[in-house]
Every structure is written in structure tokens, then in C-alpha cells.
């Protein structure tokens, strides 16, 4: 395996969309995916990019990706990196690709002066949980994540 990790670029939008759909299938959340390549292109490469991607390639073939963005800790007075998605195609799992992506993200966080790298994992995803804990990651069990979407979000916005 010749693994290369690179930043995603605008021509990668169809590939990134395909990997996102693969992640959704794995997480049994395909029904929640409403992305279009046009929306993804604007979000990643438009006037105000909201996220960045890393793509892992094995001998030139994309086998994984990570999508992340900056957060901010008021307590640390430092930025952080929030890993929204990490996905390795099934045939490449167990070969160190996920670890390589997380190493690159950790390196990016340190280079950018970030105080933390964090993410969420589905509670049923035991293989991922064990993998993250082997890396030294700790669950943040004191916090519960809340989310507003759709009609609830629009109602709060007065729309």
C-alpha cells in the first residue's frame, strides 16, 4: 500500500459526495442525505468555505476522507478542529488509513495552534469507539449534544 493524504480540491467534489454517501450507508442514515454536488461545492469551495477535506489515496485510488472545520473554545481562547466525518471504504479498513487521517488532522491542529481535536461517534459503532480509545481519545460523557433542524430551526429564526 502506498498511502498518500492530500487536501481535497474542487474537482474532487463528486468523489467527496460519493464518500459521504458511503458513510451514510454505513451509518444507516442514507435517508438523511440531501446533499447535491452543487451545494457541496459551494460549502467547500465557494465564497466562504465552511469546511475542509482530506482525502486518503492508496496507489492513486481514493479510499477514505475526513471532513473538518474550525471550532472555538472560549475556555482555552483557542481554535479547535471538529471532525465532522471520517470514512474508510470497507476494503481498506484495518490497514492504518483511519489512523493516518487522524494523524494528519492532529498535525494540522497543532500547526494551526488549536487546543483540541474532537468529534462525535454513534454509540453503536463499537469498532470506531475502540479505535479512538486506542489512540488515547476520551469520551466527553458530561455533555449532551442538541440540534435544531428543519422546521424547529426556522421557527426559532422567526421564519
Residues with active-site annotation: 132
Q: If DSSP codes are grouped into helix, strand and coil, which group holds residue 124?
A: coil
Helix (H) or strand (E) holding 85: strand 78-88
Q: Distances in Å between the alpha carbon of 65 and those of 6, 104, 112, 143?
A: 10, 11, 20, 27
3-state secondary structure 89-122: CHHHCCCCHHHHHHHHHHHHHHHCCCCCEEECCC
Amino acid at each position: 500500500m502506498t498511502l498518500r493524504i492530500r487536501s481535497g480540491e474542487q474537482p474532487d467534489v463528486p468523489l467527496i459526495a460519493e464518500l459521504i454517501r458511503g458513510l451514510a450507508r454505513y451509518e444507516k442514515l442514507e435517508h438523511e442525505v440531501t446533499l447535491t454536488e452543487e451545494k457541496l461545492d459551494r460549502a467547500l469551495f465557494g465564497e466562504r468555505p465552511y469546511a475542509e477535506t482530506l482525502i486518503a489515496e492508496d496507489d492513486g485510488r481514493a479510499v477514505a476522507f475526513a471532513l473538518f472545520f474550525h471550532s472555538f473554545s472560549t475556555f482555552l481562547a483557542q481554535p479547535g478542529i471538529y471532525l465532522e466525518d471520517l470514512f474508510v471504504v470497507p476494503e481498506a479498513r484495518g490497514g492504518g488509513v483511519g489512523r493516518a487521517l487522524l494523524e494528519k488532522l492532529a498535525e494540522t491542529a497543532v500547526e494551526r495552534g488549536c487546543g483540541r481535536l474532537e468529534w462525535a461517534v454513534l454509540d453503536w459503532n463499537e469498532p470506531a469507539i475502540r479505535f479512538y480509545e486506542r489512540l488515547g481519545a476520551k469520551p466527553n460523557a458530561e455533555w449532551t449534544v442538541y440540534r435544531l433542524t428543519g422546521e424547529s430551526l426556522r421557527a426559532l429564526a422567526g421564519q
